[in-house]
Amino acid sequence: MHRPFELVGDPQRAPLCGPRRGRFHTPHGSFETPCFAPCATVGALKGLLPEQARAAGVELILGNTYHLALRPGAERIASAGGLHRFMDWQGPILTDSGGYQVFSLAGKRRVNDDGVHFAGSDAGAALDLTPREALRIQALLGSDIAMVLDECPPADASPFALADACRRTLLWAGRARDIHEERGGLSSGQALFGIVQGGSDKALRASVADALVALDFDGYAVGGVSVGETKEEMDIAIEASTPRLPQDRIRYLMGVGEPDDLFEGVLRGIDMFDCVTPTRHGRNNRVYVRSGIYNMRNSAFSDDFTPIDEGCGCLCCRRYTRAYVRHLALAREMNAAILQSLHNLHFLEELMASLRARIEAGADEASLRAWFADEYPGWQQRPRADRPA
């Protein structure tokens, strides 16, 4: 069976750890890479309809195994025809395994080598996730890409805790790989990705990546990079992981969505990203602009009758002014969150589309950096790790 990921252009010229242009094929269509995928955690892009996301350039979205299993339940979604039909999204869907909740719900779960027990919540009863159960739920959801169950440790985990989380992640990955093969592998209609953990420990990252590559997954994620680490630590984690991953498999940086992080990730060989930031910022009146981030409640916008970001083609910037959006934000009008979320999502998708076009045209890292510095001057100020020579 053909692998779902292909490099666009001459694969021999694609850098091992530099910007790449690719395409990933699924039963619900293909998506172009590098790409950004917004989160539809509980089966909805907060504040936005599927057609609005499509119009903004979205091709891939994410759902969450843990949350959807609790409410409305994977069996109910399967009865409705799967998550695509349930939420009326016609394109590819990736589902997280629930591994991030091992981090985010640290006080409400127990972990051992069998899996994770989550205490009950306002969304439903207690939930036990094992490598098999996580894949069973994702099969019921009908996503195009499933993730293995992993243990996502916090940035301040002790060396022992970090090593143990990596050991357990590899144990679960092996079990998940066997289960996936029992169900037909890619022929089942679902690709399976492994997840590289290891914090900012370069040797541990490399070791986990090598072990996952030996298991031969359809794609590989770099996890554990949105858990309180610095920008430098994030870059180190990526650079310790991507050189070990196969050239012909897609690389996914989990939980990352700030413009500078997307740009730096692409330069380091990452193909896809996801995050809640576009809609979360939108609900909190924070919007991306080329000069940085604006808080739209700022009084400076009271009589500013220009678009949020000059040159932006989103519906908000085409039709409304900063003064109007600020008025909606102060009035706590829900349209403020909708318009700001739509703008933020369009902003990130436009960035990724521009990167795709430039990479395909042959731009190297130096020219991409010069372009980004000129077009996005407000995203040059935060310190990053030095790129290896």
Which residues are designated catalytic?
Answer: 96, 274
At a CB cut-off of 8 Å and minimum separation 6, what does 230 contact? none
Antiparallel, parallel or unpaired: β 191-196 and 145-147: parallel
Do 251 and 270 meet the contact criterion of CB atoms below 8 Å apart? yes
Number of residues that make up the chain:
389
Do 56 and 314 meet the contact criterion of CB atoms below 8 Å apart? yes
- DSSP character string of 88-122: T--S-EEEE-SHHHHHHTGGGEEEETTEEEEPPBT
For residue 188, the 8-state DSSP code is G
The tokens describing 351, both together, are 């960035």
Do 43 and 61 meet the contact criterion of CB atoms below 8 Å apart? no
Closest by CA position to 385, among listed 297, 248, 283, 265: 265
Strand partners, 121: 124
The tokens describing 317, both together, are 């910037």
Calpha distance 199→226 (Å, rounded): 10
Which of helix, strand or coil describes residue 33?
strand
Cα angle at 74 between 73 and 77, to 5 degrees? 90
**How would you classify residue 310: left for phi > 0, otherwise alpha for psi between -120 and 50, otherwise beta?**
beta
- End-to-end, the C-alpha distance of the chain in Å comes to 37
The tokens describing 213, both together, are 């590559």
Instruction: Tell me the C-alpha to C-alpha distance, in Å, between residue 373 and each of 80, 205, 296.
Output: 47, 30, 24
